Amino acid sequence: MISRKFTVAVAAMLGTAVATAGLSAMSARVDSPLEKLMEKVQEDNSKILKGVRTAPNYKKSQDEIIAAAKEMIQLAKDSKPFTEPGKKEKQPQEKWEQLCDEWVKESEKFAEIVSNKETTQVDAKNAYKAVQKTCTDCHDVFRKED
């Protein structure tokens, strides 16, 4: 005969297990660290795109564009150690690192171009296209729609 005490203990344990499973299912829906990072990238991207759109915008927000470009260099560097996308898409880690390096390189070039006060809005807008290409090159391989 199973004691009542024992049954209660098992029930309590099961209850905890169910609650834990529920929690981890919930945390899977919460943004991954890379998603959080990409949200910051997206903010910088929007600031830059808005800033290079027109000549008056560019003139007004050049400093903000420089700051966003610099932050993006850091975010690109911070992305490099992530191994989850390679595992998920069954791609070699070197490929991920290469794409991150490209992104760092192009962001650095862009930051340098916009830091030059001689740079015009048209130059800046065209220069940013090289950075955007690095976003798409990586997303094409590592961010397939789930």
Binding site for ligand HEC (CB under 6 A): 31-32, 34-35, 38-39, 41-42, 45, 79, 85, 96, 99-100, 103, 131, 134-135, 138-139, 142-143
3-state secondary structure 92-138: CHHHHHHHHHHHHHHHHHHHHHHHCCCCCHHHHHHHHHHHHHHHHHH
- Smallest gap from Cβ 119 to ligand HEC, in A, equals 19
19 versus 30: smaller Cβ distance to ligand HEC: 30
Kindly report the backbone phi and psi dihedral angles of residue 143, in degrees, each rounded to the nearest multiple of 5, phi listed first.
-130, 60
62 versus 104: smaller Cβ distance to ligand HEC: 104
- Smallest gap from Cβ 120 to ligand HEC, in A, equals 22
- Smallest gap from Cβ 10 to ligand HEC, in A, equals 38
DSSP characters over 73-90: HHHHHHHTT--HHHHHHT
Among 49, 50, 58, smallest CA distance to 119 is for: 58
- Smallest gap from Cβ 100 to ligand HEC, in A, equals 5
111 versus 131: smaller Cβ distance to ligand HEC: 131
